[in-house]
Amino acid sequence: TSSALPCVVKVFTNEKGHADDLSKPSRSFLHELEVLCTSNHPNLVRLLDFGCTLDKGAEFLILEWLDGEDFVSASKKTTRRDFYAMLAQVCRALDYLHRRGLVHGDLKPQNLIVIANSRHTPDAPVVKLLDFGYTTSAGSDPADTVQGSPLYIAPEVIQGKPQTFASDLYSFGVILYECLTGKTPFVGEAVGSILKQHIHQPPPPMSGEMLPELHPLIHQLLMKDPARRPSSSGEVHRQINAISTE
């Protein structure tokens, strides 16, 4: 790009998996482009440019380079103070999307990149939310197939119901559970088994795990009924701020 900043080029394929269909842009490309072109937030990845390749006409995005690691991996190496600062940044990123009527739709550790602070500064690590290929308007008609990552997907999405802001909060709850216990609440060798657990099984108890003050909030976030989860990402942010000062 003209700015000469370190960057990542993300190339999109068409729905059949080939980057050679000139007739229709990839839905994931359009979703990401729409979100990022109209976004300006310190906790969202920054779009630098976009276009099509000259050879096969594949769409691409040029995004800022993020020299960090996924949220769960980073959480294992940070202090309590910085961990709560990281959680607050996720809340702010989600609140920014949700206030615009958007559901991220694929919240997972790999889509939350944590950039460590310099050893010489007291600043907390910076969290960046990325990958908006499944982002939709809240309450819009669900896709023909279930979209999301099996380990982090909300029960109502599996059941074919419209995604809402509460669906993102459920996924956030799974990430928090994983940060504290070292594993996601529902695991299995078959995807179908994991999806059934999301719908029917309560998460295993967290007794004995670290940061017990967070356990009630995680329990709330992992409620099967979206109406019983916190009312908004802003409410989760307020709870996290209150807990962090205890």
Distance from C-alpha of 37 to C-alpha of 135, rounded to nearest angstrom: 14
- Sign, Cα dihedral of 199, 205, 209, 210: positive
Which DSSP string do the residues of 72-108 spell out, in sequence order?
Answer: HHHHTTS-HHHHHHHHHHHHHHHHHHHHTTEE-S---
10 Å Cβ neighbour count for 205? Answer: 10
Distance from C-alpha of 192 to C-alpha of 18, rounded to nearest angstrom: 27
Distance from C-alpha of 132 to C-alpha of 149, rounded to nearest angstrom: 13
Q: Which residues pair with 11 in a beta bridge?
A: 60
CA neighbor of 59 nearest in space, from 96, 15, 111, 93: 15
Distance from C-alpha of 55 to C-alpha of 204, rounded to nearest angstrom: 51
**Is residue 106 among the annotated active site residues?**
yes
In the set 95, 106, 131, 168, the catalytic residue is 106
Distance from C-alpha of 218 to C-alpha of 3, rounded to nearest angstrom: 42
Kindly list the catalytic residues.
106
